[in-house]
Structure 1
């Protein structure tokens, strides 16, 4: 079971796994039902405006002050945090990778995290990091929470079961899940090894973008976001809790499961979204609209229209504009774009960009379609055409995305990526205004 969720819209839920566990009319009563403890999880400052104020009240068997006791440091060398500047010798260039192979050994969602880029500064809570996750084993009696930011998780292969303090979510390819900052969770593969992408957002929470003149409907509709109902386990066994805080990792041990929240109410919660429910809009006359029309979620900054992170997708859609170049055009952008392909083909790069692969086009580095895509789009018949069986995405940020040493030295880094533009020969002829190839 799930509840409908609207990111950033102040909706308030109530759910209980045991009848009568949720107090009525008082958040923190003198005595909670069933001997539970009342605890508030806040995702915003207490005095944030009502529309952006986010908090949930949890009614649990034991308060989480017991979860952070004596801690020991944990080394996770492949998970990096901004600012992270390393000498790796990679040139400034457009970059693309083939899929990262899934290892044969056991790796969990935490130990299998591989950071590709970092941007901004976790200490001032701006910027983001992009990771690839590789999962071959479940987290058993082990729980993780991230104090540095929220996590947007996008599987590319395999299904994940994400057990959180507030309930259980299950996601597969074409789904995403967002786990808020500070929320405890564990991850288990459901149907074999899993691989996917993670955006770790240090800044303001993801929210739905304004639609402007588009109006009330289309893009990501609030009704399609879902958050879990209350679920708990009464498990008196030793558990490890891994905490990420300011780029470091720490472990504490407790003698019970922290998934002991019997009821909760509020608007600070994990959620999932099926990317196939995104309703794209586009040109139905002529000209090519900006890719911002494909924004699913945005994490804003204090500067209007300038995102800490935008999560953008390129799904199935009709192409109908007349007399227009339909693929993404050649451009240089103030934003830095990290792109992945969940399945199918990407229309601007039909060869060389594989499902599970990645590309990086940083701030003010030019990019665009390869030669074959350019010729096909320039001379193809402009009849209505539907792109099917495809789902690409982009984590786009205002800040430069710096490569980790892991990303710079990956064997799957394509050393010939720039060759896809080499065949773009000079076509200019001052005596022929109507160029026809």
Structure 2
């Protein structure tokens, strides 16, 4: 099924008529199922922002043992682990451990790289890296703190959710919203990025003067089709909760993916980045990179995002009398960039797929010296930009702190990043305009 934010209806074809007719919570549900509502917004939110789904399941999710603390991965929202660092930061591709010497699944391979705010106050974001080499077996995760926007960079993810299954490959993204249980199956060495937002949900940006068409089309967002498993688990099934930045585990003796039918507008979804309709300058100079926004999570300030997910896809460059790569820039936003594939136009050598960069608030950044020299002398004619490449940016109005894992433990920080600008030289000549 497709469509962003729409009301969807789905039932497993093995149980036709599993969805109750005429009401959400009848005295007795079809097939002896339990009705359970999953709310992603306050009950009293305006209709256009009200998010909820009704799940019709074999057993309700409340049937589990008490939660206990789980020590796995490197998740944190302690932004004071190390001193702030305003420098331009770049990371080499994050290492994927080799199995069977070290086995990590999606949960045990989660590492927090940077962030701001905190989940208890329902305002903030975190950026995580995941590296894994085995599938989650008889365990699932749900996030009590916020939404996960997952960007796979290497390896496919088969994600089983309470709503059904989604296969998510590199150059696709998926969003698992707050409270939704999911498990991740992988097929070898796997790596990617996660943008987590607290206190807001992702939505499509307003189009303004662009008009009715452009950027991401609502119909291209896909949601799962209902699928259930009625499975008793010998030895117990582990349900993991990310709660206030920490992990907790509870045991139950059945699969949590026992939803036979569901309806609502609060669902997981995925999107293929190649479907993005690029808007670009056709005269001179640059339009702001906000024209590449796929999804936004709004803050309480009008026009200011808690976080934007922005991509830089293949496109035509035709701007006349213009320095075409990204210009030198200082920004009141924090800019985290990742690379899914290819070579980013402004830094073709050091910025690699599976790596990342962070340019913090008002920290200057821009193309390296080699890019500047080439672009200054290039013949200006229509050209394909970023062919075979997909870079993206998590942009936030918050000032992001980097974790100890990001600065020290991961051992992937490129300490020579600043050197890419050292060859820039003055071309100033007061006698030549």
Structure 1 length as normaliser, TM-score?
0.95
Within 2, Cα distance between the matches of 1:27 and 1:175? 33
Counterpart position of 2:378: 380
Q: Secondary structure at the match of 2:290?
A: helix
Counterpart position of 1:287: 285
Q: Deviations over 1:198-231 (max 9, x none)?
A: 1111131000000111111110011110000100
Q: Secondary structure at the match of 2:185?
A: strand
Counterpart position of 1:392: 391
Pick from 178, 183, 204: which aligns with 1:181?
Answer: 178
Pick from 18, 21, 24: which aligns with 1:21?
Answer: 18
Pick from 30, 35, 51: which aligns with 2:32?
Answer: 35
8 Å CA contact 1:203–1:308 kept in 2: the answer is no
Q: Secondary structure at the match of 2:160?
A: strand
Structure 2 length as normaliser, TM-score?
0.96
Counterpart position of 1:45: 42
Q: Secondary structure at the match of 1:118?
A: strand
Residues 1:200 and 2:196 are matched in the alignment:
yes
8 Å CA contact 2:20–2:26 kept in 1: the answer is yes
Q: CA deviation at 1:91?
A: 4.1
Q: Deviations over 1:302-321 (max 9, x none)?
A: 11110011000001111011
Q: Deviations over 1:89-137 (max 9, x none)?
A: x743000011011101110100001111021121111111111101111
Q: Structure 1: state its 5+ residue gaps.
A: none
Pick from 70, 90, 111: which aligns with 1:96?
Answer: 90
8 Å CA contact 1:127–1:397 kept in 2: the answer is no
Counterpart position of 1:322: 320
Counterpart position of 2:207: 211
Q: Deviations over 1:339-382 (max 9, x none)?
A: 00000011111110011110000111110111111111121011
- 1:114-193 superposed matches below 5 A: 114-189=111-186, 191-193=187-189
Within 2, Cα distance between the matches of 1:25 and 1:376? 66
Q: CA deviation at 1:248?
A: 2.0
Aligned residues, how many? 424
Q: Secondary structure at the match of 1:372?
A: helix
Within 1, Cα distance between the matches of 2:231 and 2:190? 27
Q: CA deviation at 1:77?
A: 5.0
Residues 1:64 and 2:58 are matched in the alignment:
no
Q: CA deviation at 1:186?
A: 0.3
Q: CA deviation at 1:52?
A: 0.6
Within 2, Cα distance between the matches of 1:198 and 1:279? 23
Within 2, Cα distance between the matches of 1:412 and 1:252? 34
Q: Secondary structure at the match of 1:428?
A: coil
Q: Deviations over 1:367-415 (max 9, x none)?
A: 0111111111121011000121010001111111111101101322111
8 Å CA contact 2:75–2:246 kept in 1: the answer is no
Residues 1:353 and 2:351 are matched in the alignment:
yes
8 Å CA contact 2:38–2:52 kept in 1: the answer is yes
Within 1, Cα distance between the matches of 2:148 and 2:278? 24
Q: CA deviation at 1:58?
A: 0.3
